[in-house]
Structure 1
Amino acid sequence: MKKIFIDAGHGGRDSGAVCKPFKESDLNLAVAKAAGAELGKYECEVVYSRAGDTPTRINDMCALAKKIGAAASVSIHHNAGGGRGGEAFYWRGDAAARRLAGLVAREFKAAGQTLRCAEGEEPGVKPSYADPPGHNFGMCRVNAKNGIPAVLGEYAFVDSPKDRAMIDTPAKLAAEGRAYARALVTFLHLKKREVKPPDEPAQPRLRAGAAVRLEGAKLYRSSDALEAARTVTGGYYLYDGLTVRGRCRVTKREEYVCREPARLFVTGWVDREALRYG
């Protein structure tokens, strides 16, 4: 099963961009959880950099992504400093990461966000050429070195009124998370998990004399009768607890259970599915 590493950027004392009431580290975590929830519908395993407001270190996160054998990594961020629009960064020269960045940008646009442009690149896609010590772009560089396609996404500017309108409710952050998830689903060719029907409630073991209730149940003269003789409602007892062709014999009185000859004491046959207990 393919594994995906999702980094909710910043955390702990490192709050990232702040523009009241927004704190980037909180936004990033909400989006990461939404992305993971959507990916839970597919055949993959998601590993997060953090589950709460805790600090993270780039080298530790990259080491974890390598340890789990991540098939892809996304680092979720939000921008600040004047501007508008979304963009996805990849490490220069990493063709696979560039393709993932293109998919992320495409899903940003599909979610209604405008895209920033870089010369020579498709809208919303930008190469990262340098990362000062401890800089978040190190996630792209180190993961690329480890053979893991990695993208750092900046969906919106927290200090842009128009961009703030894209992230100002939990529902909008969830939509952003689904955008990341859809990009990863396409990139990794993920298949949806099979949804198994809920288990049917266990029925008590059939036994002679068990009390049952019937509600408008069809009553047959034999186990193979095609037409019902009538319908019945009320309390009955299993005559012998046996099932033949999906039907059981019932009797009206407890003292008639297993008495012979059966034709004198059996009320009739009913479908096993019609039995109600308790």
Structure 2
Amino acid sequence: MIITTNAGHTPTSPGAGALLNEVACNRPLRDQVNDELRRRGHEVYDCTAPDDMGYPDELDRQVCIANESGATLAVSMHLNAGGGTGPEVLYWDGDDHGRALAAKISANLARALGLPDRGAKAPDDDLAFLRDTGMTALIVEACFVDSPEDKEAWDRTSWADIAAAIADGIEGKDWAKPAAPAPSPEPTPEPAPEPEHGCNETTHVVKPGDTIIIGK
């Protein structure tokens, strides 16, 4: 699959910030998801806007690069704000494929983070990234920057789990935390070596009546 992703906002147009900083979090999130998707064999293009680009130019750049990439799916990484808790994923109203992927990604993230699943949402706002991209487009709101529960969940969850949860959702699969590896078995002790007898000669026990010849 050809996929285009971006980290929403820029340092010039920084998005939300409170207990977590959106730009500081969604850059490594994009990188981890891209690495995981490429590891699975997908072709991935990054359409993140340059750091010095402000709103609305950064949005226009994201949409332009996405549309030129030939991708069939566009995913924008964000963090939410406003006092809620848990992940949600936005999709364009009327895109059934987008709704299904959004629901799967949101459920996977909720499971990975241990937070409530806010689910797939078609926003009332006419969001440019969803409206102007020429393919199925999603906005992943991974958690809330102003929720102590969400910050704790974000800090304790590994990048590997978060990236795999999103990648599995993109592939339409349920995410489950990998089982811990089984402990290694105790090594089997090696048998004690047999005592050596000269040049591996056989030991003979002398008994009464034996003739002993002494020679060189």
TM-score (norm 1): 0.56
Query: Percent identity, aligned pairs only?
Result: 30
Equivalent residue number for residue 114 of structure 1: 115
Equivalent residue number for residue 165 of structure 2: 179
Within 5 A, what are the aligned runs for 1:1-278?
Answer: 2-20=1-19, 22-50=20-48, 53-55=51-53, 57-117=58-118, 124-131=119-126, 137-143=127-133, 146=134, 148-168=135-155, 172-186=158-172
How many residue pairs match? The answer is 170
Displacement of 1:116 after TM fit? 4.7
Kept in 1, the 8 Å contact 2:83–2:146? The answer is yes
Residues 55-82 of structure 1: CA deviation (Å, up to 9, x unaligned): 3622221121111111111111111121
Kept in 2, the 8 Å contact 1:17–1:80? The answer is yes
Equivalent residue number for residue 192 of structure 2: none
Kept in 2, the 8 Å contact 1:35–1:178? The answer is yes
TM-score (norm 2): 0.71
Kept in 1, the 8 Å contact 2:85–2:147? The answer is yes
For 1:31, give the aligned amino acid: L
Residues 187-232 of structure 1: CA deviation (Å, up to 9, x unaligned): 7xxxxxxxxxxxxxxxxxxxxxxxxxxxxxxxxxxxxxxxxxxxxx
Q: 1:27 to 1:101 in 2, by over 3 A?
A: same
Kept in 2, the 8 Å contact 1:166–1:172? The answer is no
Displacement of 1:8 after TM fit? 0.5
Provide the C-alpha distance between the structure 2 equivalents of 1:178 and 1:141, rounded to a whole number of angstroms. 27
Displacement of 1:174 after TM fit? 4.2
**Matched residue SS, 2:122:** strand
Displacement of 1:25 after TM fit? 0.6
Equivalent residue number for residue 193 of structure 1: none
Kept in 1, the 8 Å contact 2:113–2:154? The answer is no
Kept in 1, the 8 Å contact 2:115–2:153? The answer is no
Kept in 2, the 8 Å contact 1:91–1:140? The answer is yes
Relative contact order, higher structure (CA 8 A, sep 6+):
2
Please, what is the CA RMSD of the aligned residues?
2.1
Q: Which has the higher helix share?
A: 2
**Matched residue SS, 1:108:** helix
Provide the C-alpha distance between the structure 2 equivalents of 1:104 and 1:30, rounded to a whole number of angstroms. 18
**Matched residue SS, 1:111:** helix
Displacement of 1:19 after TM fit? 1.4
Higher deviation after alignment, 62-71 or 25-34: 62-71
Displacement of 1:52 after TM fit? 7.2
Provide the C-alpha distance between the structure 1 equivalents of 2:107 and 2:79, rounded to a whole number of angstroms. 17
Q: Which has the higher strand share?
A: 1
Provide the C-alpha distance between the structure 1 equivalents of 2:149 and 2:137, rounded to a whole number of angstroms. 28
